[in-house]
Amino acid sequence: QRRTTLMRPGSSCAFLAIAVLHAAKPAAAMSYPYEDALAYSYAASAAYCSAEELRSWSCAPCRASKLSLTGVQVFENASTDARAFVGKDGDGRLVLAFRGSHTLSNFIDDLKFLKADYALGCDGCKVHSGFFSTYNSIRASVLKAIGALHTPGARLVVAGHSLGAAVATLAVYDVTQTMRELEVEALHTYGSPRLGNAAFAKHVWATRLAVLAGGAWRHTHWRDPVPHLPLAAMDFAHVPTEVWFNEASSSYTVCDGSGEDTKCANSLDLFVSVEDHLHYFGHAMATDACTG
Residues identified as active-site: 162, 224, 277
Are 94 and 88 in contact, with CB atoms under 8 Å apart? yes
Q: Which distant-in-sequence residues (6+ apart) come within 8 Å of 276 by Cβ?
A: 221, 222, 223, 224, 247
Instruction: Give the whole-angstrom CA distance, residue 265 versus residue 219.
Output: 10
| Strand bridging mode 283-284 / 70-77 | unpaired
**Mapping DSSP to helix (H, G, I), strand (E, B) and coil, where does residue 60 land?**
helix
Are 191 and 116 in contact, with CB atoms under 8 Å apart? no
Amino acid at 285: M
Are 6 and 251 in contact, with CB atoms under 8 Å apart? yes
Q: Which helix (H) or strand (E) holds 7?
A: strand 2-7
